[in-house]
């Protein structure tokens, strides 16, 4: 039912949130400040040893910095205890000593209907349990014994059997006074305008009750006993009680396993009912499973409510690997600080059931110990084997795919760290010596302090010693870098003032350069410059010790002495930022034009082959326009007159001298 906002506000205000939550947690004495209404505890939603769960009486809110759960009085009860919202309101109203408002008759009827349907599902579950123990259920009992399930496990999960009959369940429920409309509303029979007489949905199947967060039966899964059945596993259809994409098998039991000092540390998601049940029998009670389909976004969010870093466990065969990759793609856009996952692959095409039957819990624990972070799975899927980057073109394609995936991450801070991590991975993947027969890679294996780029003649890259960057004559030396003046000016500003990197990391980390010098230098530079305590001198020293002294020298030399003042300690950040922003705008514009030119040239080539004169007449002027704009930018050097007034460069003019 709907409640007036004023009523909800009143009962919230009357009950300090700490008094509600304090019935479920033990407050940490060191961090809690009772006088300020500021409380800390170990989170009741996920297992942890140090308190990261915080609530404030003044705001009436709670938040866990470990798993990210947040909410008010009502959400605490609905998410932790699985209460319906009206029940949560009633609980808080009782604590506040406030009478509940009159119920809405329509809402009352809807709630009564739900309760009735739950009662019907409970009757059905009991019927299936009883049928398992009859003569008709002998074959199902034998199958469960072959799968190694004990009588205790069968009873714990309330496993049952649906007899091979079109109306056994329907007749049983009717004998209990259940109406036809209620049986249909529960999804227990197949019915419709084209079906003269409804019939049982589940026939000759082992039955797995599916429970809500409040441990009420809301649906069933059925495993066919006949090999020629149309579907090996069949779930209940969508009903008022059951929405498949929002439910996990064994959710409530797994959540309970996280509580207490000796509770499980995370949640394990496996692929099927039998996997969960077999793991439970082996002593692993913190497993859940989607209901016969790939993990959904809502199901993943349910898992994250329980733990910040669940483990998704898949069979190690081709299908399992594909499922792991799909799950990784699903999770990537949803990542938040402290919210991620790990992925474990089982050996030899085995499933968890096989593994624990053969090797016990220790065998499965060994698999979990080898679970890999999500970032590993995502990167390996896109980068492939090292030989996938044999040529510059293939490396560029890999980089483009990786960058496109990272761009899907919604959270800015997580996206930034993934960008940095994947740049470093790409550098490490392709840093090896030039491979034979293909022009070689961009990176060389030169030791630190001797430059990381090939120093061969004709490469267009200098191999000067570290002393070059320290020489006052550096700006007078000949320059052979492939970077343009604008690009050097842009990078030189960032090297001299790394705080600019931290101001605009997302934009800067997305920059790309054609010059081969930058492919190794750029990810290392970003990793170092983004550190909070990194200043210009410390940054230069770091870059030099990692073998990039010659790159820094080339960039400095290409900028020239006319704007070298931006490297000085007295340069005003406002002046440097203005030069940087101008260079950045020109750089982005130039690259955009280059892409347009390439696309137009491709379309012109295709139109020429097809003899499409009309299209050619349209494309050629566009190409000429783009080429003219590129030429204009290429001939335009960054405007430096007027810059640097705050740094003293224009002091005489400003003083009238």
pLDDT at 188: 95
Q: Whole-structure pTM over 0.75, yes or no?
A: no
Cα 135 to Cα 254: distance, rounded to the nearest angstrom: 33
**433/88 Cα distance (integer angstroms):** 65
Question: Among candidates 101, 208, 86, which has minimal Cα distance to 156?
Answer: 208
Inter-residue contact 371 to 343 (CB < 8 Å): yes
Hey, what are 11's tokens?
């009962």
Rounded-to-integer distance, Cα 342 and Cα 371, Å: 6
Q: Secondary structure of 245-312 in the HEC alphabet?
A: HHCCECHHHHHHHCCCCCCCCCCEECCCHHHHHHHHHCCCCCEEECCCCCCCHHHHHHHHHHCCCCEE
Residue 157 to residues 150, 188, 208, 250, 514, Cα–Cα distance (Å): 11, 19, 7, 9, 61
DSSP conformation class of 62: E
Phi, psi angle pair for 314, to nearest 5°? -130, 155
Q: What is the pLDDT of residue 513?
A: 74
pLDDT tens profile 568-612 = 666 677 777 877 777 777 777 777 777 778 778 877 877 787 777
Alpha-helix runs per DSSP H in 15-150: 17-21, 73-80, 85-96, 105-132, 138-146
13/572 Cα distance (integer angstroms): 52
Q: What pLDDT was estimated at residue 563?
A: 59
- HSE at residue 403, side-chain half, CA atoms within 13 A, is 15
Domain residue limits, the chain: 5-96, 104-242, 248-383, 392-569, 583-654
Domain 104-242 CATH class label: alpha beta
Helix, strand, coil abundance in the chain, percent, nearest 5? 55, 10, 40
Helices (H), 178-272: 180-185, 251-257
Strands 61-64 and 53-56 turn out to be antiparallel
Give pLDDT, residue 570.
Answer: 66
Q: Taking all residues of the chain, what is their mean pLDDT, rounded to a whole number? A: 79
pLDDT value of position 10: 82
Distance of CA 570 to the CA centre of its chain: 43
The predicted pLDDT at position 155 comes to 95
What CA–CA distance (Å, rounded) separates 387 from 442? Answer: 14
Helix axes 374-383, 412-429, angle to 10 degrees: 50
Look at residue 262 in the predicted model and tell me its pLDDT. Answer: 65
Residue 627 pLDDT: 81
Number of DSSP helices (H) and strands (E) in the chain, helices first: 27, 15
Residue 465 has a pLDDT of: 32
Neighbours of 311 (CB within 10 A): 22
| Phi-psi sector, 487: left (phi>0), alpha (psi -120 to 50), beta | alpha
Sole residue written with tokens 């044999």:
390
For residue 327, the tally of other CB atoms under 10 A from its CB is 21
pLDDT at residue 454, as a whole number: 34
CATH number, domain 248-383: 3.40.1360.10
Written as one string, the DSSP assignment of 355-384 is HHHHHHHHHHHHHHHT-EEHHHHHHHHHH-
Low-confidence ranges of the chain (pLDDT < 70): 1-2, 103-113, 259-262, 384-390, 431-483, 506-507, 510, 514, 516-517, 519, 560-571, 633-657
Look up tokens 């799975």; give the residue: 377
pLDDT attached to residue 447:
36
What is the 3 state secondary structure string of 494-552?
HHHCCHHHHHCHHHHHCCCCCCCHHHHHHHHHHHHHCCCCCCHHHHHHHHHHCCCHHHH
Cα distances from 136 to residues 6, 149, 152, 603, in angstroms, run: 58, 19, 21, 70
For residue 478, the SS3 value is coil
605 vs 476: CA distance, rounded Å? 44
d(CA 330, CA 323): 11
Compute the distance between CA of residue 15 and CA of residue 99 in angstroms, rounded to an integer: 14
Distances (CA, A) of 219 to 179, 241, 244, 255: 18, 8, 9, 19
Give the integer Cα–Cα distance in Å for 393 and 374.
27
The per-residue pLDDT for 170 is 94
CATH fold group of domain 5-96: DNA Primase; Chain A (3.90.580)
What pLDDT score does 20 carry? 92
């Amino acid at each position: 039912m709907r409640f007036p906002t004023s009523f909800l506000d009143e009962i919230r205000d009357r009950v300090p949130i700490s008094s509600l939550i304090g019935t479920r947690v033990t407050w940490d004495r060191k961090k809690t400040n009772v006088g300020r209404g500021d409380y800390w505890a170990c989170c009741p939603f996920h297992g942890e040893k140090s308190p990261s769960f915080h609530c404030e009486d003044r705001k009436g809110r709670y938040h866990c910095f470990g798993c990210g759960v947040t909410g008010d009085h009502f959400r605490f009860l609905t998410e932790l205890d699985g209460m319906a919202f009206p029940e949560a309101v009633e609980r808080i109203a009782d604590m506040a000593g406030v009478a509940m408002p009159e119920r809405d008759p329509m809402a009352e009827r809807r709630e009564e209907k739900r309760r009735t349907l739950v009662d019907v599902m409970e009757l059905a579950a009991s019927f299936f349990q009883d049928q398992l123990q009859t003569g008709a259920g002998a074959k199902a009992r034998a199958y469960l014994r072959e799968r190694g399930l004990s009588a205790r496990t069968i009873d714990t999960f309330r496993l049952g059997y649906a007899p091979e009959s079109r109306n056994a369940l329907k007749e049983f429920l009717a004998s209990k006074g259940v109406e036809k409309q209620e049986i249909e509303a529960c999804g227990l029979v197949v019915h419709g305008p084209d079906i003269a007489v409804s019939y049982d949905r589940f026939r000759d199947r082992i039955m797995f009750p599916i429970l809500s967060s409040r441990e009420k039966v809301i649906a069933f899964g059925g495993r066919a006993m006949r090999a020629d059945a149309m579907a090996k596993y069949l779930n209940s259809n969508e009903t008022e009680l059951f929405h498949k994409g929002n439910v996990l098998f064994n959710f409530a039991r797994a959540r309970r396993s996280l509580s207490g000092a000796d509770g499980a540390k995370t949640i394990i998601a496996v692929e099927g009912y039998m996997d969960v049940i077999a793991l439970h029998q082996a002593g692993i009670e913190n497993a859940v499973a989607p209901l016969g389909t790939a993990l959904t976004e809502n199901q993943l969010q349910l898992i994250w409510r329980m733990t910040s870093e669940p483990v998704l466990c898949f069979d190690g065969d081709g299908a399992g690997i594909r499922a792991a990759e799909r799950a990784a793609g699903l999770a990537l856009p949803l990542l938040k600080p402290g919210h991620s996952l790990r992925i474990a692959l089982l050996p030899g095409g085995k499933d968890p059931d096989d593994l624990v039957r053969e090797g016990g819990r220790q065998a499965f624990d060994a698999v979990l110990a080898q679970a890999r972070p999500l970032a590993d799975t995502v990167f390996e899927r896109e980068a492939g084997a090292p030989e996938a980057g044999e040529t510059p073109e293939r490396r560029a394609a890999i980089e483009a795919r990786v960058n496109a995936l990272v761009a899907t991450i919604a959270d800015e801070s997580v996206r930034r760290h993934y960008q940095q991590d994947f740049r470093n991975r790409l550098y490490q993947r392709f840093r090896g010596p030039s491979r034979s027969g293909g022009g070689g890679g961009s990176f060389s294996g030169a030791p630190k302090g001797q430059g990381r780029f090939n120093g061969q003649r004709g490469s267009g890259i200098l191999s000067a010693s570290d002393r070059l960057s320290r020489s006052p004559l550096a700006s007078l030396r000949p320059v052979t870098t492939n970077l343009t003046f604008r690009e050097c000016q842009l990078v030189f500003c960032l090297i001299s003032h790394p705080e600019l990197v931290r101001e605009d990391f997302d934009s800067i980390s997305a920059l790309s350069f054609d010059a081969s010098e930058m492919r190794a230098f750029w990810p290392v530079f970003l990793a170092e410059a983004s550190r909070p305590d990194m200043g210009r001198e410390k940054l230069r020293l770091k870059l030099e010790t990692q073998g990039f002294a010659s790159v820094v020298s080339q960039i400095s030399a290409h900028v020239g002495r006319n704007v070298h003042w931006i490297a000085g300690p007295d340069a005003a950040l406002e002046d440097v930022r203005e030069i940087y922003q101008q260079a950045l705008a020109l750089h982005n514009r130039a690259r955009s034009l280059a892409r347009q030119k390439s696309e137009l040239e491709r379309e012109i080539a295709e139109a020429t082959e097809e003899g499409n004169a009309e299209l050619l007449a349209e494309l050629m002027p566009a190409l000429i326009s783009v080429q003219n704009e590129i030429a204009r930018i290429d001939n335009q050097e960054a405007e430096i007159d007027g810059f640097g007034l705050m740094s003293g460069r224009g002091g005489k003019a400003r003083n009238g001298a």
